[in-house]
């Protein structure tokens, strides 16, 4: 592949990604859905789990939260409770939840 072909290929990739429809996350929708679905186990803001095994969601990276929810939904990440909770979520709801929890204050790590 020549440099010209590489440049054209890279430009085509950039244009293709830019043309993809972006799902805009909605913080308030994520907050509402979190109260309905997640709060019972993770706490209303994702920082007060009911057991030591239940993860803290507050302050996690948006991409990580989205990836985890999608994996539970697809079954590539296994947890009976989380798989059941993630199954009915839409793409938009996953984005909304990830945005909401990522903006909450997480654990303060002191070194």
| pLDDT single digits (tens) 59-74 | 999 999 999 999 999 9
DSSP H helices in the chain? 3-19, 27-33, 39-42, 62-74, 80-86, 91-102
CA distance 108 to 111: 10
CATH classification code of 25-102: 1.10.760.10
SS3 111: coil
CA distance 97 to 66: 8
Domain ranges (residues) in the chain: 25-102
Task: Check residue 2 and give its pLDDT.
Answer: 72
| pLDDT single digits (tens) 37-47 | 999 999 999 99
Q: What is the pTM of this model?
A: 0.76
Task: Check residue 24 and give its pLDDT.
Answer: 84
Per-residue pLDDT of the chain (111 residues; tens, 9 = 90+): 676 655 655 555 555 444 444 568 899 999 999 999 999 999 999 999 999 999 999 999 999 999 999 999 999 999 999 999 999 999 999 999 999 999 999 876 554
Sign, CA dihedral 71-93-79-53, equals positive
Nearest 10 degrees: Cα torsion 92, 104, 36, 25 = -10
């Amino acid at each position: 592949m020549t440099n010209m072909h590489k440049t054209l290929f890279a430009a085509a990739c950039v244009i293709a990604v830019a043309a993809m429809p972006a799902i805009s996350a909605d913080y308030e929708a994520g907050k509402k859905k979190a109260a309905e679905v997640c709060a019972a186990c993770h706490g209303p803001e994702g920082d007060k789990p009911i057991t030591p095994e239940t993860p803290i969601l507050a302050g996690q990276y948006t991409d990580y939260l989205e990836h985890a929810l999608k994996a539970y939904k697809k079954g590539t990440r296994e947890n009976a409770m989380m798989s059941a909770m993630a199954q009915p979520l839409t793409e938009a709801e996953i984005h909304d939840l990830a945005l909401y929890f990522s903006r909450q204050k997480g654990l303060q790590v002191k070194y």
